[in-house]
Chain A
Amino acid sequence: MTAGDEALAAALAAEHAAIYGYGVAGARLSGQQLAAVREAEQVHRARRDALFTRLTAASVTPPPAEPAYALPFPVTDAAGALRLAVHLEERTAAVWRHAVGATDGEQRKLALEALLDAAVRATRWRVAAGVSPATVPLP
């Protein structure tokens, strides 16, 4: 497996985890915040599918989703759900950041787009969670 494929496989594993995590977060949120969860979940599902196709085409066995993932902390209310959403996007951004450095050409473009998207979503969730500052210097 090339370093690029390995990084994309790690990104796929992170996307699986993010989709699971948003399922948990969505159960504790409502209204606009729930709509934002659903939208984020759709974006992560689309990335997961694109990665699956790409890795399969490169003859790399895509890592499967786990039936469940350990949460970084118990999520029992809306505040916890928002903190979880921040965490999911931060983790996803970190994995995509690594992929940016491990890939080139079209794959790097895909990784860069995903990094920017995750960083912006993390910022939106920090705003929703009342975290200040809502940005970090090196997402």
Chain B
Amino acid sequence: MRTTTTRTRSEFRGYRRRVLLGAAACGAAALAGCDLFGEPNPPPGPDPLEPVRAQAQALADRYAAAIAAAPDLATRLQPLRDAHLAHVAELTKVIGTPPPSPSPSAPPSAAAPTDPAALLASLRADEEAGRRDAETACLAAPGHRAALLGSIAACRATHVEVLT
């Protein structure tokens, strides 16, 4: 009798736990949509902003490597790195899910040149490419996302300006 009761409670707890986990998963995937019973819908594929966020993170990482290679440039480069991290944060708000953790098999980013002129030229090329990609994403995005993407493109354009 006692054993039966225990099993019933444990089953009940198991059920509660599934419901709560379902609700939590649904909260994390708010943009994916949830049905009435808290089950997340099948994921609709990667968010189109994902590549823009990955690029913002990659740009921030390039600056971190550049600052490590040429500490004299830190004052100049740190605000630019911070801007890319701010973009990652803003994009994360819109995407609604945190960035995927970097894959351990991802190749380390190319070593930054140590000559300051070469370093700045390489960052400038990265920013230029980033600006183009953000513009393309902006023109293809729905209105509520386009303003943020336009602002990110504009920011990257200003980085090209101060690296010149």
Interface of A toward B, CB cutoff 8 Å: 93, 97-98, 100-104, 108-109, 111-112, 115-116, 118-120, 122-124, 127, 133-139
Query: Do A135 and B79 touch (CB < 8 A)?
Result: yes
Known: A137-B82, A137-B86. A120 touches B150 (CB 8 A): no
Q: Bound state CA distance, A109 and B155, in angstroms? A: 17
Q: Can you list 28 A-B contacts with CB-CB less than 8 angstroms, sorted by A residue number?
A: A93-B154, A100-B138, A100-B146, A100-B150, A101-B146, A102-B143, A104-B143, A108-B138, A112-B138, A112-B150, A112-B153, A115-B153, A119-B157, A120-B154, A127-B162, A135-B79, A135-B83, A135-B155, A135-B162, A136-B158, A137-B82, A137-B83, A137-B87, A137-B155, A138-B151, A138-B152, A138-B155, A139-B155
Residues of A within 8 A of B150 (CB): 97, 100-101, 111-112, 115-116
The residue on A at minimum CB distance from B147 is: A101
Q: Is B144 on the interface with A (CB-CB < 8 A)?
A: yes
The residue on A at minimum CB distance from B82 is: A137
The residue on B at minimum CB distance from A102 is: B143
What is the size, in residues, of chain B's interface with A at 8 Å between Cβ atoms? 27
Residues of A within 8 A of B151 (CB): 97, 115, 138-139
Query: Do B139 and A119 touch (CB < 8 A)?
Result: no
SS class, residues of chain B in contact with chain A:
helix
Question: 14 more A-B contacts (CB under 8 A) besides A97-B154, A135-B79?
Answer: A100-B146, A104-B146, A115-B153, A116-B153, A119-B157, A119-B158, A123-B161, A123-B162, A133-B79, A133-B80, A136-B155, A136-B158, A137-B86, A137-B155
Query: Do A135 and B80 touch (CB < 8 A)?
Result: yes
